[in-house]
Amino acid sequence: MKLKTSFALAAVAFSVSLSAIAQTPTTLKIGYATTKESHYGVGSTVFCDEVEKGTQGRYKCQHFASSALGGEREMIEAVQIGTLDLVNTSTGPVGNFVPEVKIVDIPFLFRDYDHARKVMDGPIGQDILTKFPSKGLIALGWTENGFRHMTNSKRDIVKPADAAGLKMRTMENKVHMEGYKTFGIQPTPMAFPELFGALQQGTVDGQENPIPVILSSKFAQVQKHLSLTGHVYSPALLLLSPKVWGKLSDADKKVFTEAAKKGSVAQRKKVNDDEANGIAQLEKDGMKVIRTVDGNAFREALKPAYVNYAKEFGADNIKKIQDVR
């Protein structure tokens, strides 16, 4: 009798400790460049909420917003190693890890948001995602940074001749730099966390980023002129460490990928909202906004770069993207 009772007690204790193990939530660290209120924060929050719900609280996130863990290249490296679980990053430095990504960084490749999103969500974009695992990264899905526009402290930019001679910070992205040189600007690659200070100190004259980044990073405080050049689409990605992915059940994997889709929808919506309302806000904050730029002159200037892009990526592959309607 006594023995039976102690067996029973032990069994209860065992099952209690088992369920305690099962219920201990795993906290995933997620990093991104801009604030928690920005497009990256909004998309990441929706993703994390969905993961928490879908795994009944077994997984949740700790956010490292505003480049708290360094630049995007550093965060991607950390995700590869597994010291960071997730990063919501622009493709800026990603082509250095997964070369197949570079083609979507070509300037003036996409006509508008609909075109870009259709390509990312379609076979071309989805195929690029399959290239990540062999490079030690899991791409859960495309998110979005937005169309990039130029800002500077010197003058209005309507056409390439106005941009010529300006020292502009660019991402650490060869495809961008090659294209921007044809506009006559002096591209100066730099990690994002250094950018505000560089603009403030005048180390560079300008930079280029989507409206949600210009807004959330308060570049109006250090830049006078904003030209809505929309010269390149800046895709973004939600990347997960293979270390985490390897531990997930098939059902949890599905939860993570579905959560990434919902996060992407929310992030794109925030980009739309900022494009719709943010430009007026930036004007209020003191920026002079040039709404009509000479897009044809920029495209014309880019022609020599497109010759090289065709050599590097294949003219037919570029055309396939351009032809998506």
CA 197 – CA 78 distance, rounded (Å)? 24
Residue closer to ligand EAX, measured from CB, 54 or 212: 212
Q: How far is the CB of 9 from ligand EAX (least distance, A)?
A: 56
What radius of gyration do the chain's Cα atoms show? 23
- Considering only 209, 223, 227, 267, the residue that binds ligand EAX (CB under 6 A) is 209
Determine if residue 57 is left, alpha or beta; phi over 0 gives left, psi from -120 to 50 gives alpha, anything else beta: left
Residue closer to ligand EAX, measured from CB, 116 or 171: 171
The 8-class DSSP code of residue 25 comes to P
- Considering only 52, 72, 144, 275, the residue that binds ligand EAX (CB under 6 A) is 72
**Sequence-distant (≥ 6) Cβ neighbours of residue 323 within 8 angstroms:** none
- Considering only 145, 216, 241, 264, the residue that binds ligand EAX (CB under 6 A) is 145
List C-alpha distances in Å: 174 to 93, 105, 181, 236, 260. 9, 9, 11, 17, 28
Mark out the alpha helices in the chain (DSSP H runs): 2-23, 39-54, 72-81, 113-121, 123-129, 160-163, 174-181, 195-201, 211-216, 242-245, 250-284, 295-301, 303-313, 315-322
Q: How far is the CB of 180 from ligand EAX (least distance, A)?
A: 13
HSE of 260, CA atoms in CB hemisphere, 13 A: 23
Residue closer to ligand EAX, measured from CB, 70 or 184: 70
Within 29-68, the residues that bind ligand EAX by CB under 6 A are: 33-34
CB-based contact 71:94 (threshold 8 Å): no
Residue closer to ligand EAX, measured from CB, 39 or 117: 39
Q: How far is the CB of 70 from ligand EAX (least distance, A)?
A: 11
Query: Is 182 a residue that touches ligand EAX (CB under 6 A)?
Result: no
Residue closer to ligand EAX, measured from CB, 54 or 235: 235
Amino acid at 35: T
Within 16-35, the residues that bind ligand EAX by CB under 6 A are: 33-34
Q: What binding mask, one character per residue, do residues 84-103 give for ligand EAX by CB under 6 A, x or -?
A: ------x-x-----------
Q: How far is the CB of 91 from ligand EAX (least distance, A)?
A: 9
The 8-class DSSP code of residue 101 comes to G
Query: Is 125 a residue that touches ligand EAX (CB under 6 A)?
Result: no
For 168, list phi and psi in degrees, rounded to 5.
-120, 130
Structure tokens belonging to residue 155: 């003058």
Query: Is 234 a residue that touches ligand EAX (CB under 6 A)?
Result: yes
Q: How far is the CB of 92 from ligand EAX (least distance, A)?
A: 5
Q: How far is the CB of 140 from ligand EAX (least distance, A)?
A: 17
**CB neighbour class for 18 (10 Å; exposed up to 12, middle 13-18, buried from 19):** exposed
Within 263-322, the residues that bind ligand EAX by CB under 6 A are: none
**Sequence-distant (≥ 6) Cβ neighbours of residue 287 within 8 angstroms:** 151, 220, 223, 224, 225, 226
CB-based contact 151:206 (threshold 8 Å): yes
Q: How many residues bind ligand EAX (CB under 6 A)?
A: 11
Query: Is 213 a residue that touches ligand EAX (CB under 6 A)?
Result: yes
Q: How far is the CB of 73 from ligand EAX (least distance, A)?
A: 9
- Considering only 132, 192, 219, 233, the residue that binds ligand EAX (CB under 6 A) is 192
Query: Is 216 a residue that touches ligand EAX (CB under 6 A)?
Result: no
Note the residues at the interface with ligand EAX (CB under 6 A): 33-34, 72, 90, 92, 145, 171, 192, 209, 213, 234
